[in-house]
Amino acid sequence: MGDNQEIRRRMRELNITQVELAHRVNSRIRAITGRYGTCSERTVRDWVTGKITWPHERQRLALEAVFDCTAEQLGFKPRRKNPAPPPTEKDVKRQTFLKGLAATAAVGLTSAPAAATTRTTIGTSDVIRLRAGLETLDALDDHRGGHGALERAALAGANQVQALQRNGTASERIRDRLFSVAADYTAVAAWSCIDARELERAQQHLDTCMRLAGLARDPIATFRTWNMIAILAYQLGNYPDAVAAARAAQRTGITRRDPMFASLAHARTAIGNAGLGDRQGALRSIGMAQDALSRARNEPRPTWFAFYGPAELQALTSIVQDHLGDAASAEGASHQALALLPAQFRRNRGLATARLALAQLHQREMELAVHTASAAFDVMAGAPIPGRMRTLLGDFHRELLTLSTNAPAAQEWADRYRAEWSRT
């Protein structure tokens, strides 16, 4: 028995404490079993000091998912004296899928994984490994936004899960969870299309996502789908449907258990009402969103939901206020959003910056607005600008030129706008 230097090193690489690692392991377990795990700081300390040399299976699989490597690579030693047997065909397929999915997200490969040719027994470990690939895609979306490679990688993940469904045997509980994982992968594809303004494909993916969420009997997947339907309807200018979808999200079971989800649903309703010109309804809904957020506790949630919190609510409030003609309040909300926004959400920072520029332009502060809008390009430097942000900056461009085409600030912006559009 001795210090486990390998897990210490990997914790330093992720910059996480023993308490944070326990939380991540328990969150992984909850995502699969529906119950928060029992791993504590003391458990992690026993791993690090070598007191526990081989964690029990559920925690071991969760650890592998957190660090994206095997337990042996984390410095743990199996209890058996004999050397570990060579990996089975099923193990190889699982590892190949996870590695291939990350590569697809990075370089945009389009080939879908081959369907399984033999029937295998599917268990909790399979669900954990399949779900692990979603974090890679969520992180890529946070940083770069929606694009074709992300959509293809997500669909490849969904196809892999459904191939396992078709060619494997599993309990009803495991099948529900597989449908849930497939719904989550499809949701990533749908969101990528929404963010890239590929709206027709987004609608097709959302139809599939709703079907899979229903088969999974998963209230979180159902909420996620209604939330995206509300966004898509808003993008299409169909504000009545945006309100109806947001209210459907409010009625899902997860909003009764977790005020954070209820807050997002109320904020979506506020945006739809603002689009309809319903000032009272919009302000009432945004107030309810703020109240629900104040009641939310810090508890594990899916990685895709990490974007929502005080910063995002301020960003959505800015949209509502600007729709209602209160540009000064919209500007203030955008400033608060940018001040609160975590660093990893680069795409969201670019969007909030563009919204701030519009709020400033609506107050006829042209020079300041141009400076702010140009900063959105700086935020996304080195990456293509997602379609949703391009549309927002295009709106700014048209409104600025409507106000004045001869002002020095307008000419400066037009030059930058043309240069950036040719680059992206």
Residue 106: is its pLDDT beyond 60? Answer: no
Residue 313 within a domain: no
Q: Locate 273 and state its tokens.
A: 């009402």
| Chain centre to alpha carbon of residue 19 | 24
| pLDDT tens-digit map of 267-295 | 999 999 999 999 999 999 999 999 999 99
The tally of domains found in the chain comes to 2
Residue 108: is its pLDDT beyond 50? Answer: no
State mean pLDDT over 49-70: 85
Mean pLDDT lowest among 84-98, 103-117, 172-186, 224-238: 103-117
Residue 322: what pLDDT?
Answer: 95
| pLDDT tens-digit map of 348-398 | 999 999 999 999 999 999 899 999 999 988 888 877 788 888 899 999 989
Residue 204 within a domain: yes
Judgement on whether residues 17 and 106 belong to the same structural domain of the protein: no
State mean pLDDT over 13-40: 77
Which domain, by its residues, includes 21? 5-74
Residue 104: what pLDDT?
Answer: 44
Question: Is the pLDDT higher at 370 or at 13?
Answer: 370
pTM (predicted TM-score): 0.70
**For the chain, what is the mean pLDDT?**
84
Angle between helices 124-144 and 57-67 (to 10 degrees): 20
Q: How confident is the model at residue 338 (pLDDT cuts 50, 70, 90)?
A: very high
Residue 186 within a domain: yes
CA dihedral 79, 83, 89, 94 (to 10 degrees): 50
- DSSP H/E element including 302: none
Residue 95: is its pLDDT beyond 60? Answer: no
Last-in-domain residue among 74, 104, 134: 74
Residue 54 within a domain: yes
Judgement on whether residues 175 and 138 belong to the same structural domain of the protein: yes
* Cα–Cα distance measured from residue 84 to residue 288, given in angstroms and rounded to the nearest whole number: 56
Read off the DSSP letter of residue 81.
S
Judgement on whether residues 12 and 117 belong to the same structural domain of the protein: no
Question: Is the pLDDT higher at 107 or at 341?
Answer: 341
Judgement on whether residues 92 and 153 belong to the same structural domain of the protein: yes
| pLDDT tens-digit map of 232-253 | 999 999 999 999 999 999 999 9
Q: How confident is the model at residue 179 (pLDDT cuts 50, 70, 90)?
A: very high
Residue 133 within a domain: yes
CATH number at residue 33: 1.10.260
Q: How confident is the model at residue 87 (pLDDT cuts 50, 70, 90)?
A: low
Residue 117: what pLDDT?
Answer: 45
Judgement on whether residues 101 and 32 belong to the same structural domain of the protein: no
Judgement on whether residues 207 and 110 belong to the same structural domain of the protein: yes
* Cα–Cα distance measured from residue 253 to residue 184, given in angstroms and rounded to the nearest whole number: 17
Residue 119: what pLDDT?
Answer: 61
Other beta carbons less than 10 A from residue 134's beta carbon? 21
Backbone angles phi, psi at 36, to 5 degrees: -65, 135
Residue 422: what pLDDT?
Answer: 61
Place of tokens 């909003």: 255
Judgement on whether residues 97 and 181 belong to the same structural domain of the protein: yes
Residue 363: what pLDDT?
Answer: 93
Residue 372: what pLDDT?
Answer: 93
* Cα–Cα distance measured from residue 5 to residue 141, given in angstroms and rounded to the nearest whole number: 33
Mean pLDDT lowest among 131-140, 250-259, 287-296: 131-140
Question: Is the pLDDT higher at 165 or at 3?
Answer: 3
Judgement on whether residues 49 and 97 belong to the same structural domain of the protein: no
Judgement on whether residues 40 and 162 belong to the same structural domain of the protein: no
Judgement on whether residues 96 and 209 belong to the same structural domain of the protein: yes
Q: How confident is the model at residue 32 (pLDDT cuts 50, 70, 90)?
A: low
The neighbouring-strand residues paired with 121 are 169
Residue 109 within a domain: yes
Instruction: State what percent of residues in the chain have pLDDT above 90.
Output: 44
Judgement on whether residues 202 and 102 belong to the same structural domain of the protein: yes
Residue 165: what pLDDT?
Answer: 80
Last-in-domain residue among 202, 217, 232: 217
Mean pLDDT lowest among 135-149, 152-166, 368-382: 135-149
Residue 3: is its pLDDT beyond 80? Answer: yes
Range of 116-125, 387-396, 414-423 with top mean pLDDT = 387-396
Q: Among 199, 263, 278, which residue's Cα sits nearest to residue 231?
A: 199
Last-in-domain residue among 217, 241, 274: 217
Say whether 120 sits in a helix, a strand or coil. Answer: strand
Residue 145: is its pLDDT beyond 60? Answer: yes
* Cα–Cα distance measured from residue 266 to residue 272, given in angstroms and rounded to the nearest whole number: 10
Residue 39: what pLDDT?
Answer: 83
Residue 94: what pLDDT?
Answer: 43
Residue 404 within a domain: no
* Cα–Cα distance measured from residue 206 to residue 211, given in angstroms and rounded to the nearest whole number: 9
Residue 206: is its pLDDT beyond 60? Answer: yes
Judgement on whether residues 121 and 179 belong to the same structural domain of the protein: yes
Q: How confident is the model at residue 96 (pLDDT cuts 50, 70, 90)?
A: very low
Q: Among 184, 173, 252, which residue's Cα sits nearest to residue 221?
A: 184
Residue 26: what pLDDT?
Answer: 80
* Cα–Cα distance measured from residue 241 to residue 258, given in angstroms and rounded to the nearest whole number: 24
Residue 300 within a domain: no
Q: Locate 306 and state its tokens.
A: 């990490």
Q: How confident is the model at residue 148 (pLDDT cuts 50, 70, 90)?
A: confident
